[in-house]
Chains A and B, each alone.
Chain A
Amino acid sequence: MTETGPSRYALRMKGIDIRFGGVQALSSVDFDVRAGEVHCLAGENGSGKSTLIKIVTGVYRPDNAALIELFENPVEAISPVQARARGVAVIWQDLALFPNMSVAENIAFDGLVGLRPRGVRYGDMKLRARAALERLGVTLDLDQPLENLAIAQRQIVAIARALIQDARLIFMDEPTASLTQSETDHLLNIVRKLSSDGVAVVFVSHRLAEVLEIAERVTVLRDGKLVGVYPTEGMTQARLGELMTGHILEYKVTARDMSAAPILFEARGLSVPGQFEGVDLTIRAGEVVGLVGLIGAGRTELAHAMMGMTGTAAGSMQLDGRPYRPRNIREAIAQGLAYVSEDRLQLGLLQKQSIEDNAAISVLDRLLGGLGLISPAKKTDLIMGWVSKLGIKIGLPADAISTLSGGNQQKVVLAKWLATEPKLLILDSPTVGVDVGARAGIFRIVRDLAERGLAILLISDEESEAIYNSDRVLHMARGRIAGAFDPRTTSPVDLEAAIHA
């Protein structure tokens, strides 16, 4: 393979400019990746990361480029097919795989592309697919359809697909967004393996902790400009967040002592067989309770039980001092609960519908006009009210929700639920796929809501997120509440140790 001295580059770009209409998407950006390096490309949504990847892979052509070199060969114009032939591969966030095709065919698919008719040799395809998976140290059933695989395994299929074409520079776009912790660890191991094999990997991720763990260097972009290139050694999450957003983010504990506030919600001995057991939970008015734990510990299941989505939960629940036993989600909403689900893209929003329709869907009966039909004026009032209250950046209320960034989409989900005027808001992993700056915005809103007396249950996969934004943090493990922490006396590192103990 190639020698991986520091002098060898997989990619060098200098002075990249590109405009789309009136927007300068990138202005004189320099970017380089050393051979065999794990490099992180960091920046908020809209900072130009995707644009840069698309230039390297030939999807866009820059307006100006002082220099583009791939593996130390100058490149004039590059098409997607040429980029692939030169050893550049991208693993998109949606993976771009084929669910009904076999694993082997997915891995070897690019060899079939082209209009020159030729035969298909399935045996050969399987051999090559197996060899690629062996390089990753993974075995998968090559004959089964991809749709039977979990997301993490599909990702491995996508990586194998890149390897089979001798990729020496692989871009990974948000590869860990939908992975559990152990799946993420496995993926990071594979990335390290690739790197030691001489394959350079460029990682795009919103999870700063993981970026700092895996990458050697990080290139930070902001508003289409290069902020700088930094070694990850000695870099902290807070510093990286500052570089990305351009302002100092408040990473400070906001916990207050809420023990005097009236109890809003109380569960005693709540159990759903096979999901969680004997859960006692108290949430006070205006209190933010963080709920952390490993995937599968029963946190989301607990939220579902509180929302009446699990038919029969044993034990008792009280809301505002009265017995609370919702039979379905409609009853839970009617009594003042709201639930922002972890799967925003599929469950929380109707992607093809407009922003205003999405925001209004939970309160349609309150928007009725004279004839019992929905009043457009009331609907617009509702959405514009929330847009200004939550600081949502939108074009027109009638635009499709899919035109918004992750952070703004999440704010629309919040608006949708806040419109029901809940007393208790359950947030399930509210910042998945949301960038650093927008996260801060969402937690400012959460804090405001709590100040106004709303009780909030914050389910989080990230210890630091829970510590900095909750008044009290509960740790759930194997279906039970395993411990309670006071953020004022617990560091994220302590909490992480407790969870992974």
Chain B
Amino acid sequence: MHRLIRMGQIEFRLLIALAAICVALSLATDTFLTLGNLTSLLNNNSVNLIWAVGLLVVLIAGGIDISFAVMSSVVQYVAAVWLLKMGGGNWFFGFVLCGLIGAGLGLVNAALIHGFRIISIVVTIATFNVFFGLLMFFTKGRSIYNLPDWWADRVILFEHQSADGNWSELTLPVAVMAACVFATWFLIRRTNLGRQLYAFGDNPEGARRAGVNLAVMQALAFGWCGFMAGMAALMQVNIVREVVPNALYGRELDVLAAVVLGGARLGGGKGTVLGCVLGVMFVAVTQNGLNLLGVSPFAFKMIIGAAILVAISTSNISLGQGRAGHREAAQ
């Protein structure tokens, strides 16, 4: 219980809401609470969560990144072409290549933001268009299907056949997701660099006066986000077994919505990995539940939108009360 109280208010509320939805869905459908459904939820959302922790780091540092999803498309395409030219490659080359290209693209964002003192939303909207435009221009929209076997084959970490003959399994993307989540938690919670990111997002001028190297902080935040975009790119190909240049276009706003729902603040200095994970899970479970209940997919968008508004506005209410009470105490 002590830990629950220490947990942020937003995370705690989200956990309650998520638990309530899970209970409701288990009662309303007989398909939700099955191993098969839960494992496929994890498999299908691993890419979103990898993006989400990358974006979280940028939000904590006071920035925003709109370009990460198309960045993943660029990484996929470049890596696929490169690996095919090399004669196939293997997982090791895949990880290194995707990680490096992703981080490199993220550093482009960081350099533009820091070098020209442009706010990050403007820079990343621009690079979003530039990356996507270049990709479509050079690929002419052609997809790649003849991927190396190692990349397209499913890597199964856990499998189980239930009594009725259905298979449930966990695949490599889930493990990579877990590693990315852990690495991000370690960075922002357990290292001095991560704490400087928080400080930078919270009060940039204060951080500068304390001697925090702001250029490095921007590079770390956007580089990390880019690296995660690289990981997401690699895993998404493993799931869908093809590289379609415009497949990821438009996914960024769903991820942003989930991260904001998880308590990260546009403006910096706030956000936790736990909240981020819960935010992505909340969105995923809601979508899954509505599917199982046979509700129109448009209702899903509506509900996520409403959930964000409720989450943000109620967190402001309690904040306001806290401040008002405080002022009285001060007098």
B192 touches A100 (CB 8 A): no
Q: For A109, what are the chain B residues with a Cβ–Cβ distance below 8 Å?
A: 195, 199, 210
B251 contacts A by Cβ under 8 Å: no
Contact A112 B192 (CB under 8 A): yes
Tell which of A97, A109, A114, A295 has the most Cβ of chain B within 10 Å: A109
Contact B189–A120 (Cβ < 8 Å)? yes
Q: Which residues of A contact B330 (CB under 8 A)?
A: 150, 152
Q: Is the CB of A115 within 8 A of B213?
A: yes
Mask, A104-144, CB within 8 Å of B = 1, is 01000110111111111000000000000000000000010
Q: Is the CB of B196 within 8 A of A296?
A: no
User: Among B192, B269, B270, B329, which residue has its beta carbon within 8 angstroms of that of A114?
Assistant: B192
Q: CB within 8 A of A80: which of B191, B192, B209?
A: B209
The verdict on B141 contacting chain A, using a C-beta distance below 8 Å, is: no
Also in contact, A105 and B203, with CB within 8 A (given A113-B211, A119-B190, A150-B326): no
Per-residue 0/1 for A141-166: is the Cβ within 8 Å of any B Cβ (1 yes, 0 no)? 00100001010100000000000000
| Residues 185-209 of B at the A interface (beta carbon under 8 Å) | 189-196, 198-199, 202-203, 205-207, 209
Closest-CB distance, A113 to chain B (whole angstroms) = 5
Q: Does A99 sit at the interface, judged by CB under 8 A?
A: yes
A92 at the interface (CB under 8 A from B): yes
A301 to B: closest C-beta gap in Å: 11
Write the chain B residue with the least CB distance to A97: B206
Q: Interface code A88-103, partner B: CB below 8 Å = 1, 0 otherwise?
A: 0000101111111100
How many whole Å from B218's CB to the nearest CB in chain A? 13
Nearest Cβ distance between residue A307 and chain B, in whole angstroms?
20
CA distance A420 to B311 in the complex (A): 42
Q: How far is the CA of A98 from the CA of B331 in the complex (A)?
A: 23
Given known A-B contacts A96-B203, A100-B202, A296-B331, A113 and B210 have beta carbons under 8 A apart: yes
A81 within 8 A of B: yes
Query: Is B216 an interface position by the 8 A CB rule?
Result: yes
Residue from the list A97, A113, A180 in contact with B203, Cβ < 8 A: A97
> How many whole Å from B70's CB to the nearest CB in chain A?
30
Q: How far is the CA of A438 from the CA of B194 in the complex (A)?
A: 45
Is B115 close to A, CB under 8 A?
no
User: With an 8 A cutoff between CB atoms, is B322 at the interface?
Assistant: yes
> Which residues of B are found within 8 Å of A97, using beta-carbon distances?
203, 206
Whether B198 pairs with A98 at a CB distance below 8 angstroms is yes
Tell me which residues across on chain B come within 8 A of A81, comparing CB atoms. Answer: 211
Q: Mark B201-229, 1 if CB is under 8 A from A, else 0.
A: 01101110111110010000000000000
Interface of A is mostly: loop
B190-A99 in contact (CB<8A): no
Known: A100-B269, A117-B191. A295 touches B198 (CB 8 A): no
A-B contact count (CB 8 A): 79
Q: Do the beta carbons of A120 and B195 come within 8 Å of each other?
A: yes
Q: How far is the CB of A321 from chain B (nearest CB, A)?
A: 37
CB < 8 Å neighbour of A120 from B190, B206, B322:
B190
Q: Which residue of A lies closest to B220 (CB)?
A: A115
Contact B206 A105 (CB under 8 A): no
Does A98 contact B203, Cβ atoms closer than 8 Å? yes
- 8 Å CB contact of A113 from B6, B191, B212, B329: B212
By beta carbon, the residue of chain B nearest A96 is: B206
Q: Dominant SS at the B interface?
A: helix
A80 to B192, CA, bound (A): 19
**Inter-chain contact B212/A99, CB cutoff 8 Å:** no
Residues of A contacting B205 in the complex (Cβ-Cβ under 8 angstroms): 94, 96
- Once the chains are docked, how many angstroms separate the CA of A100 from the CA of B8? 12
Nearest A residue to B193 via CB reads: A117
Cα distance A94–B207 in the bound complex, in angstroms: 13
Minimum CB–CB distance for A90 against chain B, Å: 8
Interfacial residues of chain B within 55-90, with CB under 8 A of chain A in the complex: none
A128 to B35, CA, bound (A): 48
Contact (A113, B196) CB under 8 Å given A99-B202, A101-B202:
yes
Q: Is B331 within 8 A of A100, CB to CB?
A: no
| Nearest neighbor of B187 in chain A, beta-carbon distance | A117
Taking a contact as CB atoms under 8 Å apart, the answer to whether B331 and A105 are in contact is no
Residues on A with C-beta less than 8 A from B195 are 105, 109, 112, 120
Q: How far is the CA of A95 from the CA of B209 in the complex (A)?
A: 10
Residues in chain B near residue A98, CB distance under 8 A: 198-199, 202-203, 206-207, 269
B317 to chain A, nearest CB (A): 16
B209 CB contacts on chain A under 8 angstroms: 80, 92, 96
Contact B192 A118 (CB under 8 A): yes
In Å, the complex CA distance between A118 and B326 comes to 36
Partner of B193, one of A84, A92, A99, A115: A115
A116 to B196, CA, bound (A): 12
Say which residue of B6, B191, B207, B322 sits within 8 Å of A119 (CB atoms): B191
Query: A120 contacts B191, CB within 8 Å?
Result: yes
Q: Are A80 and B211 in contact (CB under 8 A)?
A: yes
Contacts of B193 in A (CB 8 A): 115, 117
CB neighbours (8 Å) of B207 from chain A are 98
Q: Which interface residue of B212, B213, B322 has the most chain A CB atoms within 10 A?
A: B212
In chain A, positions 318-373 with a C-beta closer than 8 Å to chain B are none
Which A280-323 residues have a C-beta within 8 angstroms of B?
295-296
Distance in Å from the Cβ of B191 to the closest Cβ of chain A?
6
Given contacts A109-B210, A113-B196, A148-B326, contact A100 B270 (CB under 8 A): yes
The A-contacting residues of B in range 156-207, CB under 8 angstroms, are: 189-196, 198-199, 202-203, 205-207
Q: Which residues of B contact A (CB under 8 A)?
A: 6, 189-196, 198-199, 202-203, 205-207, 209-213, 216, 269-270, 322, 326-327, 329-331
Known pairs A110-B211, A295-B331; list 5 more (Cβ under 8 Å).
Answer: A99-B202, A100-B269, A117-B191, A120-B190, A120-B194
Top 10 A-B residue pairs of the complex, sorted by shortest distance between their CB atoms: A96-B206, A150-B330, A100-B269, A112-B192, A98-B202, A296-B331, A112-B195, A100-B202, A113-B211, A96-B209
Q: Name A residues whose Cβ lies closer than 8 Å to a Cβ of B.
A: 80-81, 84, 92, 94-101, 105, 109-110, 112-120, 143, 148, 150, 152, 180, 295-296
17 residue pairs bridging A and B, Cβ less than 8 Å apart: A80-B209, A80-B211, A81-B211, A94-B205, A95-B206, A96-B209, A98-B203, A98-B207, A99-B202, A99-B203, A109-B195, A109-B199, A112-B195, A119-B190, A143-B6, A148-B326, A150-B330
